[in-house]
Structure 1
Amino acid sequence: MVTAFAAFFGRRFAMLLEVIALTPEDARQAAASGADRIELVSVIEEGGLTPALQFAEEITAESAIPVHVMIRPHSRSFRYSEEDMELMLGSMKELRRFRLGAFVLGVLTAERTVDEEKLKRLLDAADGVPVTFHRAFDEARNLEEAYETLAKHPLIRTVLTSGGMPSVLDAQHQIAKLVRLSGSPGSAPEVLAGSGLTPETVADFVRRTGVRAVHFGSGVRQNGKAAAPIDPLRMAAVLAALHPEVK
C-alpha cells in the first residue's frame, strides 16, 4: 500500500526518489518506505561496487519497484583495463538474466573525457537494458561536454551527478545548468542529483535547481551512516519534503 501510494504521487508530481540498497532487507525497506527506485550496490564505503549475484537475483525477483544495478569492479579509478572490462561485461551477461531496471556504469579516459570506445562496448552488452552513467561523470574535465557526449547514446537514460563536488549542495548552480541542458523530460538523459542531500535540505535544493530526480544513500540511513539500515522516519521526512502537497 505504501509503495503504490508513493508511486502514484511520484508520477503525479514528477519527482523521483532513488535509494541505495546494499542487501535484500535494504531493498524491502526502501520500497516499503516509498522509494520509487533502488540502486543496488556493494561496498558503499568505496562509492559502490558490483553487488553479489545472489543479492541481485533475490532483489530483482521480489521488488515491486525498478532495481538499477551497479557495474563497477573496483574503486581505484574510472579508467578500466581490458581485464576490468572483461569482469564488467561478464557481470552484465549474468545480470541480464534478471529483471533489471537498468545498469549503472561509467568509464573515463586518461584525459578525463567519456571513454566512448569502452562505453559503446558496455552499451552493446546491456542488450537493450537502460543505463545510468554514474558519478564517474563528476570527474570529467567538463561536465557539459561529458553530458553532451552521453546524450548521443539513446540507451543512457540517466546521469547521476553531484555537480562535480563532494556534496551536491555545493554545486546547485552546476546542477541547474545540467537540468536546463537536459531539456524536457524524455528528451535527453535525466539528471539524477545525489551526494550530501538530507531530509532537511532536499526541498530547497529541488526548488533552486529544478531537478526532477534525487538519489539518497546515507541521508536516509540511521544516524546518517552509510552502511547503517534504512531509517523509515528519515524516508518519510524526505517524501514529505518532496511532496508537501500530500497530507
Structure 2
Amino acid sequence: MRHERVLLEVIATTVADATAAARGGADRLELVTAMGEGGLTPSIGLIEAVVEAVDLPVNVIVRPHSRSFTYDSNDFAVMLRDVRAAKRAGAHAVVIGMLTPSREVDREGLQRAIDAADGMPLTFHRAFDEARDLMEAFDVLLGFDAVTNVLTSGGKPSVLDAQAQIEALVQRAHNTHCTVLAGAGLTVDRVGPFVGVTQVRAVHFGSGVRVDGKGLAPVDEDKVRRVRTLLDA
C-alpha cells in the first residue's frame, strides 16, 4: 500500500495552464476561473477547450460566487445547471461544496448536486475547512458514495500548518471510497516532508507551481515536474 503513487492535482485557469501542467506530469486538473476569489465556475468554452487540449481528468469547480458557501434557491438552480453543463462539456468530476448557516455540510444541497451529476464523481472543496467540526463533516461526506475526494487545508489558511489535522483525516479515510486531497499553501520545497509525515495520497497545487509563486501567474511546467519527481522519490 505504501508504494502507491501520490496523485498530483494542479489548478488550471487557462488552456496554457492545462497543457503546462500536463507536460509537467500532473495527474489531474482542477479547472477554475477567478483564482483570486478562491475559484469560480469556468465558462463552457474553457471547459470544452481544456478537455480537448489535455489527456487528463478535468475536474471543474462549480461555485457561483465567492460571498459564502451558504446558497439560496437561486444559487442552487444555477449550480445544478452548471453541474449538468460541465458534464456535457466533458468534465471528469465537479468540485463543489455547500454549508448550512450553522456551518455543517448541507446534506440536502449536496444530494441535489449528486443527482444532477448523474454518476459523475464529486470533490467536496474547501468549504469543508469552514465547517464547525472537521471530523464530523468528514463523517457526513463519507456517507455519500459520489464524494470521492475532499479538498482541505485541515481548517488552516495553509495546509503546512495543519499536518496533525491532515494526518487524522487520512487515517479516517483509510479503507473508504474517499481520498483526502491536501491543498492550499503547499510549496515545492515542503511537499516531500509534508507527504512523509501525513501519508496523504493526493496533493493539490495552485500558487506553489506558478511563476514566482503568484496565484494569478501562469503554471510553471518545471515546478510541476519538480513536484512530480519529489512525489515519486
TM-score by length of 2: 0.97
Q: For 2:199 and 2:182, how far apart are their aligned partners in 1?
A: 11
Report deviation, 1:16.
Answer: 0.2
Report deviation, 1:156.
Answer: 0.5
Q: For 2:178 and 2:38, how far apart are their aligned partners in 1?
A: 22
- For 1:215-226, list aligned pairs within 5 A: 215-226=204-215
DSSP 3-state at the match of 2:68: coil
2:192 alignment partner in structure 1: 203
Aligned equivalent of 2:57, options 44, 66, 89: 66
Report deviation, 1:236.
Answer: 2.0
DSSP 3-state at the match of 2:189: coil
Aligned length: 231
Letter in 2 for 1:71: V
Aligned equivalent of 1:238, options 223, 227, 232: 227
What are the Cα deviations for residues 189-239 of structure 1, in whole angstroms up to 9, with x where unaligned? Answer: 100000000110000000010100000000000000001111122112211
1:228 alignment partner in structure 2: 217
What are the Cα deviations for residues 70-107 of structure 1, in whole angstroms up to 9, with x where unaligned? Answer: 00000100000111111101111222212221000000
Letter in 2 for 1:82: S
Letter in 2 for 1:84: D
Q: For 2:194 and 2:132, how far apart are their aligned partners in 1?
A: 24
DSSP 3-state at the match of 2:139: helix
1:157 maps onto 2:148 in alignment: yes
8 Å contact from structure 1 (residues 13, 243) kept in 2 = no
Report deviation, 1:240.
Answer: 2.0
1:98 alignment partner in structure 2: 89
Deviates more, 1:17-26 or 1:87-96: 87-96
DSSP 3-state at the match of 1:45: helix
Q: For 2:105 and 2:4, how far apart are their aligned partners in 1?
A: 33
DSSP 3-state at the match of 1:147: helix
Q: Which runs of 5+ in 1 are unaligned?
A: 1-11
Deviates more, 1:235-244 or 1:22-31: 235-244
4+ long deviations beyond 3 Å: none
Cα-Cα RMSD? 1.0
Letter in 2 for 1:227: L
DSSP 3-state at the match of 1:50: coil
8 Å contact from structure 1 (residues 61, 98) kept in 2 = no
1:121 maps onto 2:125 in alignment: no
Aligned sequence identity (%): 51
1:42 maps onto 2:42 in alignment: no
Q: For 1:131 and 1:79, how far apart are their aligned partners in 2?
A: 18
